[in-house]
A = this chain, B = another copy of it.
Amino acid sequence: MSNLHKALDEKLVRVGILGATGTVGQRFITLLSNHPWFIIHALGASPRSTGKPYAKATNWKQTTPIPSNVREIIVQECKPEHFKDCAIVFSGLDADVAGDIEGAFRAADLAVFSNAKNYRRDPSVPLIVPLVNDFHLSMIPQQQAQHQPPLQKGFILTNANCSTTGLVVPLRALEKSFGPIEACFVTTMQAISGAGYPGVSSLDIIDNIVPYIGGEEEKMEWETLKILGGISEEDGQKAFDMHSRYPLRVSASCNRVPVIDGHTMTVSVRFSRRPPPSPQQVREALVAYTPAARSMGCPSTPVHAIFVHEEPDRPQPRLDRYYQDGAGVSVGRVRQCPVLDIKFVVLANNVSIGAATSSIINAELAVLKGVVKLPIN
């Protein structure tokens, strides 16, 4: 057994969580409390929570109790010195503070896995959906080298917007089997938990739809290109190519609906290849899709990256969002589209694969690929 796997088995990988009292932070804690490799070592939150045991500092809103090994951890300020023993720092910070804090953590040579949007458009920061574009990890050395002074261990890596995540997993599976997609139409019906807590006022969403989520459509239309695109290299400098070799147009219409967890989307795509694949070929390609994270043995990766439903009325968020602890993506109703080629329905659990679960698998990938430096001999 390698030193690496020995260290993992002994749970020697200490992790910290920024924004630990918030919605995403609570989800990180729930998921990490039983993680086979990682052990929660430090929790950071805003000044009004610091100095208190976690159980007193948080307004816990999960349906399982606070893990007992976390209740008494004293919440710290989000300053690098409190996290210096953490090989991995997960960030569930809000966008209004994430930029500065995550930057300071990277400058202190810490490895940050962020759920915030602040660095997603940074040309040296990978935007990784772990079931899709793990190979973007190869950008990390360049990010570290660009820093003054160059970083040894520190970097920032982000995961994608929750709605983007659900979209790119099946799109990647289709591009892998059938080549480039040219156009994609997506209408989302997004859960309230995507807006955090307190988030959406009940007066705005009970018996209602809000056909607008600020900035969301732009994120989906842009992030999809960065994630599904490759990395070009010129004069030794790497760059994300934004799917530019095969231009892809994405049109997103985003809606908030009275669903607690789980983003549902209607998706339609047009392939470059003529004739396009049949619905049955698409179903088979989706079922067969196995991401690298799975073959490499990342423990939080779902068995079925994509579960394809055969019943005509599935996936449904309330029934299907918990499958595989929300780590996979559900697809249903694969059929021909009269305007583009193929249309289908996607469901992704926005608080799992759409948020904390993705960060955790990204960290698992980074550990296995040696991007995260562990304190082993």
Contact = CB atoms under 8 A, between A and B. Distances in A.
A199 interface: yes
A189 interface: yes
A255 B205 CA distance: 17
Interface string A337-354: 111100101000000000
A322 interface: yes
B193 A203 contact: yes
A184 B340 CA distance: 10
Contact of A199 (B201, B258, B338): B201
B339 A251 contact: yes
Contacts of A337: 251
Given A199-B201, A203-B198, A333 B192 contact: no
A318 interface: yes
A179 B303 CA distance: 51
Nearest to A253: B266
Contact of A318 (B207, B257, B268): B207
A206 B212 contact: no
A206 B260 contact: yes
Interface range, A side: 35 or more
A7 B72 CA distance: 43
Interface in A193-218: 193, 197-212, 214
Contacts of A323: 64-65
A332 to B, nearest CB: 7
A218 to B, nearest CB: 11
A192 to B, nearest CB: 5
Interface string A279-291: 0000000000000
A116 B253 CA distance: 31
A319 B119 CA distance: 34
Instruction: Report copies per complex.
Output: 4
Contact of A63 (B65, B185, B322): B322
Contact of A264 (B203, B249, B255): B255
A292 interface: no
A333 B212 contact: yes
Contact of A185 (B199, B202, B268, B332): B268
Contact of A208 (B250, B259, B268, B338): B259
Interface string A259-279: 110001010100000000000
A338 B249 contact: yes
A77 interface: no
Given A202-B192, A221-B338, A322-B64, A316 B211 contact: yes
